């Protein structure tokens, strides 16, 4: 049907691909032109080809650090997402638990999680664990809030319908509640993964041992703008890859809610 | 058979249903009509085992409503179509039966969709169906469950009048073909009269039965009945009961002027 661009299940046209690529080409050309025309010194803003040369000149450096960042995101994000999912399911089943914790979940949402990083340094130390805990915390909140909201979408009459035939509670969960929550679950997942990438960079600034965030920090201290930009390009690629993975899963798994 | 003995349902200090006695025979088409808030939906939910009575008891085929639910003896149709938006029409018809733990019968589900006039829409999602078509799927789903008893809570309440009348004729036809016992709740007097073998009139605050009519219209009932004099007379009789003022004797005798 006439779905909007980016809606799960909508076909991708040539223009959907060509226009963004064209935009990227124009922006790169403008960067090039600016550097050449204004005679910007390369240590302030290197031209795109210089950044590409840094990237291609030492691919091992970027692969190694991207892997370190990806590992933190996978472990920390995985733990945060799993915990968020588990709590969302729990509070959807247990009304008293929902009433006890939900107000605080909503309250804590306004706290910039980055502000608690120094606290973690004191409690957890300065290693991988700190990074994992920090990324986990950041990924946890959007996951639990979004998924819990999804479970709230089940219409009361749908629950009554299943009660009218005395359906089992596991059946009700798997066949009714979970499918209703799944679009919100994926919305939460996308937010959590995006935030986990931010969390990983911040963690690498604080813990400062490895990863793309660490590379950016290091390059900044040495005023190597070309290295910084190259690291940022890899970071963007990493974030896009993670986001894309979820978008593909969503296309395959999720029905599209429509106004009814 | 449904036996309702002295059922009262109270919410805090509101008596939604008060001391209702009613028996619905096997194969009977009973309608319950009354204003909003008269407890007709609550009464239906009590029969379906979705609401515990405060006092009194309900027996379905001689057993408790919980036993009736456990054996999937009651097919419910709600005002909202309650179709699952990610499932096709035929999957939605099959869904309730699956949830009741009964053996799957895909061919039966397709046959019922044909019977309610939805041949060719088997794989359509609810979003692609009109309001009337969605309720047809919901009705097919309730019949497909295989229950003897159908409880219908204003199933046509959100449809336009033309669709309502057409579905009224169809539901009578289905009821005859499938030999079900139907309790049909509505706030539309013409609908209640057209569908009924027997029509129960309720009033609100507290919700109780004030009158029961045996509806005498030709069977099988076609859309010609809508324009017959007998139909108009019985609608007028039910209306008269509904508009009778029983609560406040001081206004008795006041005539209502139509605007």
| Angstrom distance (rounded) from CA B65 to CA B68 | 5
Q: How many CB pairs under 8 A join A and B?
A: 57
Q: Is A160 within 8 Å of chain B by CB?
A: yes
For residues A112-136, give the mean pLDDT: 88
What is residue A141's predicted lDDT score, i.e. its pLDDT?
Answer: 94
What is residue A2's predicted lDDT score, i.e. its pLDDT?
Answer: 39
- The percent of residues in chain A predicted with pLDDT above 90, rounded, is 73
Written as six digits, the tokens of A177 are 């509640």
What is residue B106's predicted lDDT score, i.e. its pLDDT?
Answer: 92
**Chain B closest CA to A224's CA: distance in Å?**
53
Contacts of B86 in chain A (CB under 8 A): 179, 255
Interchain contact, A158 vs B127, CB within 8 Å = no
Interchain contact, B82 vs A155, CB within 8 Å = yes
**Chain A closest CA to B79's CA: distance in Å?**
9
What is residue A39's predicted lDDT score, i.e. its pLDDT?
Answer: 87
Contacts of B130 in chain A (CB under 8 A): none
Interchain contact, B80 vs A157, CB within 8 Å = yes
Examine residue A74 and say whether the peptide bond preceding it is cis (omega within 30 degrees of 0): no
What is residue B37's predicted lDDT score, i.e. its pLDDT?
Answer: 83
Interchain contact, B84 vs A257, CB within 8 Å = no
Contacts of A257 in chain B (CB under 8 A): 85
Fold that domain B1-66+192-248 belongs to in CATH: Rossmann fold (3.40.50)
pLDDT higher than 90, residue B185: yes
Q: A252: pLDDT confidence band, cut at 50, 70 and 90?
A: confident
Q: Is A78 within 8 Å of chain B by CB?
A: no
Question: Please, which contacts does B22-26 make with residues 24 or more away whose CB atoms are closer than 8 Å?
Answer: B22/B200, B22/B209, B24/B181, B24/B183, B25/B1, B25/B181, B26/B1, B26/B148, B26/B181
Domain A55-253 has CATH 1.10.3720.10: yes
Q: Hey, how many other C-beta atoms are within 10 angstroms of the C-beta on A222?
A: 9
pLDDT higher than 50, residue A228: yes
For residues A145-163, give the mean pLDDT: 94
pLDDT higher than 70, residue A10: no
What is residue A7's predicted lDDT score, i.e. its pLDDT?
Answer: 47
What is residue B133's predicted lDDT score, i.e. its pLDDT?
Answer: 94
What is residue B224's predicted lDDT score, i.e. its pLDDT?
Answer: 87
What is residue A117's predicted lDDT score, i.e. its pLDDT?
Answer: 85
**Chain B closest CA to A259's CA: distance in Å?**
8
Question: pLDDT tens digit string along A39-95?
Answer: 888 888 999 999 999 999 999 999 999 999 999 999 999 999 999 999 999 999 899
Residue of A nearest to B73 (CA): A165
pLDDT higher than 90, residue A14: no
Residue to substitute from A165, A175, A181, A252, interface B, most B β-carbons within 10 A: A165
Question: pLDDT tens digit string along A95-104?
Answer: 999 999 999 9
pLDDT higher than 50, residue B93: yes
The sign one gets for the Cα dihedral B63, B66, B67, B71 is positive
The answer to whether the CB of B42 falls within 8 A of the CB of B188 is: no
What is residue B247's predicted lDDT score, i.e. its pLDDT?
Answer: 59
Residue of B nearest to A169 (CA): B99
What is residue B204's predicted lDDT score, i.e. its pLDDT?
Answer: 87
Contacts of A161 in chain B (CB under 8 A): 76, 78, 82, 96
What is residue B134's predicted lDDT score, i.e. its pLDDT?
Answer: 95
| Angstrom distance (rounded) from CA A172 to CA A133 | 34
Residue of A nearest to B147 (CA): A165
Domain residue ranges of chain B, discontinuous segments joined by +: 1-66+192-248
Interchain contact, A260 vs B50, CB within 8 Å = no
User: How remote is the C-alpha of B184 from its chain's centroid?
Assistant: 2
| Angstrom distance (rounded) from CA B72 to CA B81 | 19
pLDDT higher than 80, residue A1: no
Q: Is A260 within 8 Å of chain B by CB?
A: yes
What is residue A135's predicted lDDT score, i.e. its pLDDT?
Answer: 95
Q: B27: pLDDT confidence band, cut at 50, 70 and 90?
A: very high
Domain residue ranges of chain A, discontinuous segments joined by +: 55-253
pLDDT higher than 70, residue A132: yes
For residues B194-200, give the mean pLDDT: 94
What is residue B258's predicted lDDT score, i.e. its pLDDT?
Answer: 37
Strands B198-203 and B29-33: parallel
What is residue B254's predicted lDDT score, i.e. its pLDDT?
Answer: 41
Q: Who wins on pLDDT, B134 or A5?
A: B134
User: Exposed (0-12), middle (13-18) or buried (19+): which is B167, by Cβ within 10 Å?
Assistant: buried
Q: B232: pLDDT confidence band, cut at 50, 70 and 90?
A: very high
Interchain contact, A167 vs B100, CB within 8 Å = yes
pTM of the model: 0.81
DSSP string, B95-121: HHHHHTTPPP-HHHHHHHHHHTT-TT-
**Chain B closest CA to A81's CA: distance in Å?**
25
Interchain contact, A179 vs B127, CB within 8 Å = no
Out of B48, B79, B127, the one facing A164 most closely (by C-beta) is B48
| Angstrom distance (rounded) from CA B139 to CA B145 | 10
Question: pLDDT tens digit string along B38-86?
Answer: 899 999 999 999 999 999 999 999 999 999 999 999 999 999 989 999 9
Question: pLDDT tens digit string along B102-141?
Answer: 998 999 999 999 999 999 999 999 999 999 999 999 999 9
């Amino acid at each position: 049907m006439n779905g909007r661009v980016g809606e799960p299940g909508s076909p991708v046209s040539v223009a959907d691909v060509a226009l963004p690529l064209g935009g990227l080409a124009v922006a790169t050309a403008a960067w090039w032109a600016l550097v050449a025309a204004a005679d910007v010194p390369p240590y302030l803003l290197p031209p795109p080809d210089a950044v590409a040369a840094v990237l291609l000149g030492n691919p091992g450096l970027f692969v190694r650090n991207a892997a370190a960042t990806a590992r933190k995101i996978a472990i920390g994000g995985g733990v945060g997402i799993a915990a968020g999912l588990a709590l969302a399911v729990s509070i959807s089943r247990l009304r008293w638990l929902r009433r006890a914790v939900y107000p605080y979940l909503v309250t804590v949402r306004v706290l910039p999680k980055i502000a608690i990083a120094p606290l973690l340094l004191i409690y957890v130390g300065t290693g991988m664990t700190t990074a994992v805990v920090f990324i986990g915390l950041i990924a946890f909140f959007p996951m639990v809030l979004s998924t819990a909201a999804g479970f709230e979408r089940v219409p009361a009459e749908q629950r009554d319908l299943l009660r009218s035939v005395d359906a089992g509670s596991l059946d009700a969960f798997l066949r009714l509640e979970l499918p209703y929550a799944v679009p919100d679950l994926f919305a939460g997942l996308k937010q959590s993964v995006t935030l986990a990438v931010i969390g990983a960079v911040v963690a690498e600034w604080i813990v400062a041992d490895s990863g793309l965030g660490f590379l950016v920090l290091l390059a900044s201290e040495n005023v190597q703008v070309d290295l910084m930009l190259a690291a940022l390009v890899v970071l963007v690629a990493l974030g896009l890859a993670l986001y894309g993975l979820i978008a593909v899963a969503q296309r395959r798994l999720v029905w599209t809610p429509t106004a009814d | 058979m449904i036996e309702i003995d002295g059922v009262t349902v109270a919410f805090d200090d509101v008596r939604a249903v008060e001391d209702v006695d009613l028996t619905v025979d096997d194969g009977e088409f009973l309608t319950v009509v009354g204003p909003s808030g008269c407890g007709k939906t609550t009464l239906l939910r009590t029969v379906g085992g979705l609401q515990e009575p405060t006092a009194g008891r309900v027996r379905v085929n001689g057993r408790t409503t919980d036993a009736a639910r456990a054996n999937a003896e009651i097919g419910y149709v709600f005002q909202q179509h309650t179709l699952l938006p990610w499932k096709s029409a035929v999957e939605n018809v099959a869904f309730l039966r699956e949830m009741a733990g009964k053996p799957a019968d895909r061919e039966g589900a397709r046959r019922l969709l044909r019977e309610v006039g939805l041949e060719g829409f088997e794989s359509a999602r609810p979003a692609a169906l009109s309001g009337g078509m969605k309720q047809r799927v919901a009705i097919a789903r309730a019949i497909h469950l295989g229950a003897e008893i159908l409880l219908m809570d204003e199933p046509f309440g959100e449809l336009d009048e033309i669709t309502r009348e057409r579905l009224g004729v169809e539901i009578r036809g289905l009821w005859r073909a499938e030999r079900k016992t139907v309790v049909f709740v509505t706030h539309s007097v013409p609908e209640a009269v057209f569908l009924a073998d027997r029509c129960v009139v309720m009033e609100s605050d507290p919700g109780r039965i004030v009158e029961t009519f045996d509806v005498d219209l030709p069977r099988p009932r076609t859309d010609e009945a809508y324009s017959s004099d007998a139909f108009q007379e019985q609608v007028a009789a039910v209306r008269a009961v509904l508009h009778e003022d029983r609560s406040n004797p001081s206004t008795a005798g006041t005539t209502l002027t139509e605007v």
